[in-house]
Amino acid sequence: MAAMDEPKTPSQYQSPSGKESSAYLMSIITTLSSSADFEQREKEKTRIEKAYINSDKLLGELVAENYQDVTKILQSFNGMTKSINESRDKIRKIKEDLNSCKTLLHFKRDELRKLWKDGVEHKAVLSMLEQVEQIKEVQDKMNTLIANKHYLHATDTIVQAVAKLEGPLNGIEALREVKIDLVNIREKMHETLIDELTKQIYERSLPTSSMHRGSQMRLSRKDASVWGWSDGLDSPKRAPKTDGTESSVNKTYFEVKEDLNSNPEENLKNFVAILTESLFVLRKLPDAVERLKLGMKGSLNKLINTATQQVAESSGQQLDSMVNHVQPKYLNELLKIVFQQTRCVAETHQTFLDNVFRLTRSSGVEKESSGMPLHGNVLYDMKDVWSEIQARLQILLSQYLDVKNTMSSRQQAPTGFDEPSMDISQYFSKKKPARPKKVSLFRFDASQHAISVSSARQQIQQFEHDSLGQSDNWLIVKVCKPGAFNITAIYKPLRSFIEEVEAIMETTSGLQEFITEFVQNAFLGQVHARVSENIDAATRDISSGTRHRLSSIGFDALRNVIDEKTKRELGVPRPLLQSTVTVDNSIQELQELMHDLPDYADQFLNMICNVLRDYRDKCHSAYRDIVQHGSDEKRIISSMWAKDEDISRFLRSLPSWRSLQPRQGKELDRTICSEEEIRALNSKEAVILISNLSSDESLIPQQEIITDVTQMRTVANVHESLEWFGDRLNQFCTSLTPQDTLNPVQEELPTEMPPISEKTLESLKSLVQDFKDLAEICLLLLHLEVRVHCFYYLLPVAKQSNYAGPIDDLDPDSNVLKLNKDLSGMEEMMAQSLQPKKFKYIFESLGYLVASILITSVQFLKKINENGIKKMCRNILAIQQNLTNITLTRESDLDRARHFYELLYLNPDDVLNSLAEKGPQFTLNEYQQLIQLYHRSFAGNPVSVQDARMQRLQSVMEKGQDETV
C-alpha cells in the first residue's frame, strides 16, 4: 500500500492528449493531498512548478511559432460563440411563438377539422376527374395500340377501364355512354384477337414471313394479382412454361414481354404468346380455342387456294387454262409448297397450344378465379391439327387424281405372276382357237326405274354424309389436268410427308390409307388396262382381208416397222417391229413407275411379267402361223430343222454362230480356226443337210419352203426386234436386286431400282430367255431357209433337166435362174433387215453347200454329153457370179464343182491315171458316181470294164489314204 501511495515523480506525468487532460489534473491533486509528509509535498510542488514553467515556456514558443493560426482560431471561436448566443435567442423566441400558436389552435380546432375534411373531398374529386379524363382517352389509346398491334397493352387498358367504370366510377351517370362503348369494345376485342391469331397461324407463320426464335417474352400488366400472379407493374411473374410435369408448373416461370417501341410481329412465338395472354385476360381463351378448332377446315382450304395461285403466277400461265393441260410438275410444286406451309402452320398451332397449356395449368387457381375452364370437347391437340391437314390433302388429292371417275371405272390389276417352267417347243404346236366371250345383248342401267333408284340411293348417301358433318363444298381451281397418273409425280414427296406425320402422331396416317387404297384398287388396274390397250392396239390385226390371217397377232402388225425418225432416236441399225417398240415403251413406263412408286415395285414387276408373257405368246403364235402351212401340223423344212435338237446344237457350235454372240466379242479370229477346220465344219453341215434332203428322188414341195419374201422379212424383223428387246430386258434384270439377298448395309444404300421378290425376278429372267431363244430360232430359220431354197431349186436341175440334148441347148437351167433371182431377192431383203454380221452368217459358206449339192446330184443324171457338161458348167458359173455379187468374195468352192463336171470330158482311165499321179480331189463315192454316169452316158462299155475301173479306183483311193497316213 505504501508503494501505491508514494507520489509520482514529474517524469511520470506525461503530457496527456485530448480527453485525458482533465483526468491528468485530477491525478496530480490526488497525489498532493494524499501525501502526509510536508517536505514531500513541497518537493512535489517544486517539481510541479518547475514542470509548469517548462510547459509555459514551451507553450510560449509554440504560440510564437504558430501565432497566425492561433489568431485565426481565436477569431473563429469568438464568431461561433456569438452565433450560438444568437441561436439561443431565436429558439427561445420560437418556443414562445409555438406556445402562443398552441394556445390559439386550441381555441380554433373545430374550424380546422372542417377545413381538413374539405381538403380530402377536393382531393378525391380531383382524382376522380383525372380518372374520367383517362377514361375519355381510352378509345383513342385503344385505336393507337390496336393499329400498332400492341394487343396486350390494349387488352390491359380496356380491362382496367371497364373495371374502373364498374367499380369506383360506377355511379357516374355522365359516363354511362362511355361505359357502354368500352364494354362493347371489350366484348368485341376477342374477335380481333382471334382474327389476328388466325392470321398469324395461317399467313404470317408461312416461310415468306419472318420468324425469329429464342426471344424472351415478357408481359406488363397492373392487375396480375386478380389471376393469382404476383403484383408488379412492369414484369409480373407469369404462369410457367411447362413440360407436362407438376414440378415445372410450380418452379419454372415464363415471362412474356410486349415492347411498345418495336414491331410485335417480328417474333412470331412471342406474338402468339401475347395474343394468347390477351385472350386469357379477356376470359375468351375457350372461345378462341373452339373458333380455331372449327376454323381449321376453312383456313386450310384458303391456304391451299393461295398456294395454287402462287404456282400459277410462278408458271406464268392463266390458272383457268392450266386445268386443261397435263402438267403434273405443277401439282408436285403445289404439294411441296403446301407441305412446307402446313408444317409451319402446325408448328404455330403447337406454340399456341403450349401457351394455352401454360395458362390453364399455371397455379391451380384459374379454374375458380378465371371462370374459363377448357372442356375436353373444346380443347384440341396436335393430332387434331394433323388429322385436319390430312383430310384437306385427301380432298385435294382426290380431285387431282380424279378418284371418283377412276374408282368408278377401275380395272382389276393382276395380283401376282407365277408361271411354271415351260418348254419353248410347246409354242410351236397348233393351239385350239379361243372361244368368243359372251356379250350381253342389253342392259337396264339407263332405264327410268334404274335412274330413279340410283338417284334415291345417292340422295340417301348424301344425307348420311351431311349428317356426319363430312360434306365439303370446297371449290378447288386446279393447276393441271386431273388424272390417276398424277400420282407418279407426287408419290415420293407425299410418302416422305406421310412418314413425317406418322412419326409425329405415332399412329398410321389416314392419308396413307387413302393413297394405299387408291393405288391398289384403282391406279394399278388403270395402269394395267392402259398398257394392255396400247399393246393390243400395236399387235391387233388391222387388215381384215389379209390372206395370212394370224390368231393372236396380225401379219400386218408383224410387218409394221418403225419409221426412220424413231429408228434414229432409238439408235438401232435396222428396222424394228412397231409392236416390239410399243411393248418396250410400255415396259419402260412400268419401270419408271417402279422408280416413282417404289412401294409397289413388285406389283409393277408382275405387270411387266404379264405383259411379256402375253407378248411372248403372241410372238410364238405369229411365228407358228408363218412356219406352218395348211390346217394340219405340217411345217416348213427350215422350221423343223431349227427345232431339231441335233441340227440346232450343231449349228450353234459352228464358229460362224459363235462369232455372233456378244460374249464372243469381235468376229471369230481366223487364226483360231484354220481354213481347213472351217472347211471341214462346212462340209459336215452340208453332209447333214444333204443327207436329210437328197436321200430320195422326190422333190421338195413348194409349201414346205417360204416363197414370200415378205414373210422372210418379217422373220428377220422379228429376230432383230426380239434380240434388241431381249438385250434391253437383260439390262433391266441386272438393275434389279432380290430382297432376300440384301444385307442390312445394302438396304440403307440408295439403289437404282427398289428390291423385288426373288421369285418374280426368276420369272422375268425366264421370259427374257424365251425372247432370246425365239430370236435365235428366227436367225437359224433364215440361215436354213436360204439353204433349203438351194435344195428346192438345184435338185430339179439334176432330176428333171436334160443334159444329153442338142448343141444349141447351152443356156443355164431355168431352175438355176430362178435360184439366182430368189437369192437376189433374199439378199436385198436381208441387207435391209439384218445387221451386216448376221447377213454374212446367212450367206457365208453357201457356195460350198451349192457345190456339194451339184456334186451329189450327179447320181440323179441319167445321161450327159459334151453339151450337157457345158450346160452344167454354165449353171455353176451363173450361181458363182450371183453369190460373188452377194458375198463380195469369190466363191472358190464352186470352182471345185466345175472341175468335178469337167472330169467328164476325160476318159475314166485318164481320170484314174491322174488320180494315181496327183492324188484324190474328191471322195470315193463322188468318183464312183462320176464313173457310173460316164458308163450310162456312153454306150458300148461292157459291165466288166466298169467293174474293173471301180476296183482300180478302190485300190488307188486306198493306196492314197495309206500314203497320207
Q: What is the average per-residue pLDDT within 132-157?
A: 78
Grid cell, residue 636, equals: 416348213
Q: What's the pLDDT band for 454 if we cut at 50, 70, 90?
A: low
Q: Which of 4-8, 216-220, 705-709, 856-860 has the lowest mean pLDDT?
A: 216-220
**pLDDT of residue 316 exceeding 50:** yes
Q: What is the average per-residue pLDDT within 277-283?
A: 86
Non-local (6+) Cβ contacts of 384 within 8 A are 293, 296
Q: Which residue has the higher pLDDT, 555 or 854?
A: 854
Q: What's the pLDDT band for 214 if we cut at 50, 70, 90?
A: very low
Tell me the β-bridge partners of 577.
Answer: 561
**pLDDT of residue 586 exceeding 80:** yes
**pLDDT of residue 911 exceeding 70:** yes
Q: Which residue has the higher pLDDT, 683 or 6?
A: 683
Residue 449: per-residue pLDDT? 52
Q: Is the dihedral of CA 958, 962, 964, 965 positive or negative?
A: positive
Non-local (6+) Cβ contacts of 652 within 8 A are 658, 776, 780
Q: Which of 444-453, 564-573, 769-778, 796-805 has the lowest mean pLDDT?
A: 444-453
- Predicted TM-score (pTM) of this structure: 0.70
Q: How far is 142 from 157, CA to CA, in rounded Å?
A: 7
CB 590 within 8 A of CB 604: yes
Residue 283: per-residue pLDDT? 86
Alpha-carbon dihedral 145, 151, 155, 157, rounded to 10 degrees: -30
**How many percent of the chain have pLDDT more than 70?**
75
Residue 11: per-residue pLDDT? 43
Residue 362: per-residue pLDDT? 62
Q: Which of 462-476, 691-705, 857-871 has the lowest mean pLDDT?
A: 462-476
Residue 411 exposed, middle or buried by CB count within 10 Å (0-12, 13-18, 19+):
middle
Distance from the Cα of residue 351 to its chain's centroid:
31
Q: Which pLDDT tens digit goes with each residue over 622-639?
A: 888 888 866 555 678 888
Q: What's the pLDDT band for 726 if we cut at 50, 70, 90?
A: very high
Residue 765: per-residue pLDDT? 92
Question: Torsion-angle region of residue 736: left (phi > 0), alpha (psi -120 to 50) or beta?
Answer: beta
Q: Which pLDDT tens digit goes with each residue over 889-904?
A: 888 889 999 999 999 8
Q: What's the pLDDT band for 786 if we cut at 50, 70, 90?
A: very high
What's the mean pLDDT when you consider all of the chain? 77
Q: Which pLDDT tens digit goes with each residue over 145-155?
A: 888 888 888 88
**pLDDT of residue 686 exceeding 70:** yes
Nearest CA to 688 out of 800, 784, 796, 798 is that of 784
**pLDDT of residue 192 exceeding 90:** no
Q: What is the average per-residue pLDDT within 250-277?
A: 75
Q: What is the average per-residue pLDDT within 860-878?
A: 89
Q: Which pLDDT tens digit goes with each residue over 692-723?
A: 776 566 788 888 888 888 888 999 999 999 99
**pLDDT of residue 464 exceeding 50:** no
Residue 365: per-residue pLDDT? 38
Q: What is the average per-residue pLDDT within 522-542?
A: 81
Residue 243: per-residue pLDDT? 38
Q: How far is 962 from 366, CA to CA, in rounded Å?
A: 126
**How far lies 627's CA from each of 27, 598, 647, 714, in Å?**
160, 43, 17, 12
Q: Which residue has the higher pLDDT, 135 or 269?
A: 269
Q: For residue 956, report the phi and psi dihedrals to the nearest 5 degrees.
A: -65, -40
Q: What's the pLDDT band for 421 if we cut at 50, 70, 90?
A: very low
Non-local (6+) Cβ contacts of 891 within 8 A are 846, 847, 850, 880, 883, 884
Q: What's the pLDDT band for 665 if we cut at 50, 70, 90?
A: very low
Residue 366: per-residue pLDDT? 41
Residue 609: per-residue pLDDT? 92
Question: Torsion-angle region of residue 279: left (phi > 0), alpha (psi -120 to 50) or beta?
Answer: alpha
Q: What is the average per-residue pLDDT within 853-857?
A: 89
**Winning range, highest mean pLDDT, from 84-98, 175-189, 195-209, 401-415:** 84-98
**pLDDT of residue 746 exceeding 50:** no
**Winning range, highest mean pLDDT, from 8-22, 98-112, 216-230:** 98-112
Residue 767: per-residue pLDDT? 93
Q: How many CA atoms lie within 13 A of 538 on its CB side?
A: 24
**pLDDT of residue 550 exceeding 70:** no
Q: Which pLDDT tens digit goes with each residue over 60-81?
A: 888 888 888 888 898 999 999 9
Q: What is the average per-residue pLDDT within 7-27?
A: 56
Cα Dmax for the chain: 217
Q: What's the pLDDT band for 212 if we cut at 50, 70, 90?
A: very low
**pLDDT of residue 941 exceeding 50:** yes
In the three-class reduction of DSSP (H, G, I as helix; E, B as strand; rest coil), residue 311 is classed as helix
Residue 662: per-residue pLDDT? 66
Q: What's the pLDDT band for 749 if we cut at 50, 70, 90?
A: very low
Residue 215: per-residue pLDDT? 32
**pLDDT of residue 551 exceeding 50:** no
Q: What is the average per-residue pLDDT within 29-54?
A: 80
Residue 613: per-residue pLDDT? 92
CB 738 within 8 A of CB 851: no
Q: How many CA atoms lie within 13 A of 450 on its CB side?
A: 5
**How far lies 562's CA from each of 328, 554, 559, 566, 569, in Å?**
29, 16, 10, 6, 11
Residue 463: per-residue pLDDT? 40
Residue 262: per-residue pLDDT? 81
Q: What is the average per-residue pLDDT within 645-673?
A: 69
Q: What is the average per-residue pLDDT within 320-346?
A: 88
